[in-house]
A and B are shown apart, each in its own frame.
Chain A
Amino acid sequence: MSQAPTREVARRVFAREFNDATYTFKESDDERAPVYALLPTGERANRIFIVGTLTETEDVGEDSEYWQGRVVDPNGGTFFVYAGQYQPDAASMLRELEPPAYVAIVGKPRTYETDEGDVNVSVRPESITRVDESVRDRWVVETAERTIERIQAFESDANEYAEMAREHYDLPVENYRRATVEALESLEEAETTAEPSP
């Protein structure tokens, strides 16, 4: 029996960093080798897990249904999620959900080049489920923790992906530290403003 390939970890990343992850690569020449997006804080991502507010859905398909969803994180950064006929469950979730709604999405990073030559990063969902605010808050704290861990490891020796990030991006990790602080502050504020309401 051949060894089952190990499952890729779902990385936690805020939209601001994710949308900067325009460089993708493979680690072997095998046609079926996984494609990784390079996170600017120095990690490879073949899968991500995001929780945020679905603010808009739209069928942008021409011949067949192709659903676009916008999922916003506490920084106001937007994940663009696309699901078509090959993601029927995710597509039907986007068709049926009424924004705004909190959603949890497991998906793969995808990049495409626009006519202007810019590279856009989006999410191809494996699953979309509706969740409540407590899951969203937990995700924000968890994503902050993982982002801080990556930033802390960025300067360490023999960090292969940090090395790669320096080579391919001109994006200081300080940007993502700030995004992390903002995201956490928004939770704290929500807590203090939510208390007096009936």
Chain B
Amino acid sequence: MSDLRTHAEEIHEQFADQLDVDVETVEERLDTLVNEYKVPVEEARRSVTNSYLDEAGMDRDELGGGGGNEHVELASIDTAEQWVDVTAKVVELWEPRSDAVGQVGLLGDESGTIKFTKWAKSDLPALEEGTVYNLGNVVTDEYQGNYSIKLNRTTTIEAVDEDIEVGDNSVTVEGALVDIQSGSGLIKRCPEEDCTRVLQNGRCSEHGEVEGEFDLRIKGVLDDGNDVHEVIFDQEATEALTGIELEEAKEMAMDALDTTVVADEMRGDTLGQYYRVTGPTLGRYVLVNDLEVLSGPVDAESVLIKARSI
């Protein structure tokens, strides 16, 4: 009950300037949906909010978070459609792929980085690379497990005269290497500028048949018996993991007239071994920057004490 009241108060606050409604009316409408029609409260809130948006002739974009947004760190963003405030540096600006996008790029703070999009129609001042901003009233979004934030016409932008040491979302995972997936070992990449896609049978999915450039990489799976982590080793990390360098890999493939011998050799040397890796995450992958083989002595005693005590 009091829960619905809170939601009602928040909705009411969002429309207080535009509409003449009282909190009780809002609460009643929520109550009908939730208690009579058994609609989940989040959905009820969305539905009631939408109907008031219609009534007021407003875009969802124009709706603030009801004031008093939480100021959050970028790495803590793990829910879509939250209204938040952030302080972040523009790490990179990318080329917008659509006319609807005014600016797109990467924001960073101490905790990590996140993609941002600023719509062209939002009519906001341009952000500059390398500058730190207080961004008020931005909305979080999610696509295939990756979070981003969207600037909208209610967003406040204020340049801050300070610098931020941008963190890299690094995580550390460990476990046994239980699989090296296809597309690992000696591969060829598309040589077109900024493409670097991995070729399948000499073809790039974007540029067709091309003369590929050799590279090394491993797509592997670390498994600790509770969780699996997909990890990607780039050329340098692959060389560190396997001791096989690019030139040597090319020779192996040349001798065998087959590139798959390289991945087979790598599998034999690494599968079943325990590793600890550290690096930034990209979607569901961890990109390996640091690598440690776990081969030292293990502490059986503390586990033994536990096993005896239960």
Q: Does A138 contact B (CB under 8 A)?
A: yes
A49 contacts chain B at the CB level, 8 A cutoff: yes
Which of A134, A135, A141 is in CB contact (< 8 Å) with B299?
A141
Asked if B272 and A127 sit within 8 Å, CB to CB, the answer is: yes
CB <8 Å contact, A134 and B295:
yes
Q: Given A104-B271, A146-B226, A151-B310, A138 and B298 touching (CB < 8 A)? A: yes
Q: Scoring A residues 63 to 99 as 1 if CB is less than 8 Å from chain B, else 0, what string do you get?
A: 0000000000000000000000000010000000000
Other CB < 8 Å A-B pairs besides A10-B225, A106-B178, A191-B300, 18 of them?
A: A7-B179, A10-B176, A10-B223, A49-B223, A105-B272, A127-B271, A135-B272, A135-B274, A137-B298, A138-B294, A139-B176, A140-B298, A142-B224, A144-B304, A146-B225, A148-B306, A177-B310, A187-B298
Contact of A11 among B225, B298, B306, B310 (CB under 8 A): B225
Shortest CB-to-CB span from B38 to chain A, Å, is 24
The chain B residues found within 8 Å of chain A, CB to CB, are: 176, 178-179, 221, 223-228, 230, 264, 267-268, 270-274, 294-301, 303-304, 306-308, 310
Q: Is the interface of B mostly helix, strand, loop or mixed?
A: mixed
Interchain CB contact under 8 A, A152 and B310: yes
Roughly how many angstroms separate A9 CA and B298 CA in the complex, as a whole number? 22
Q: Which of chain B's residues has its CB closest to A152's CB? A: B310
Task: Give 8 CB contacts A-B under 8 Å.
Answer: A11-B225, A49-B176, A49-B223, A105-B272, A138-B294, A138-B295, A140-B298, A151-B310
A-B pairs with lowest CB-CB distance, top 9: A104-B272, A184-B304, A12-B225, A187-B300, A129-B272, A129-B271, A146-B225, A141-B298, A106-B178
Chain B neighbourhood of A139, CB < 8 A: 176
| B225 and A7 contacting across the interface, CB-CB below 8 Å | no
A56 within 8 A of B: no
Nearest Cβ on chain B to A174's Cβ, whole angstroms: 10
Does chain B have a CB within 8 A of A58?
A: no
Q: Which residue of B lies closest to A139 (CB)?
A: B176
Q: Is the CB of B307 within 8 A of A177?
A: yes
Q: Is the CB of B300 within 8 A of A141?
A: yes
Q: How far is the CA of A164 from the CA of B298 in the complex (A)?
A: 34
> Which B residues are in CB contact (< 8 Å) with A21?
none
Measured CA separation A127–B178 after assembly (Å): 8
| Residue from B230, B267, B268 with most neighbouring chain A CB atoms (10 Å) | B268
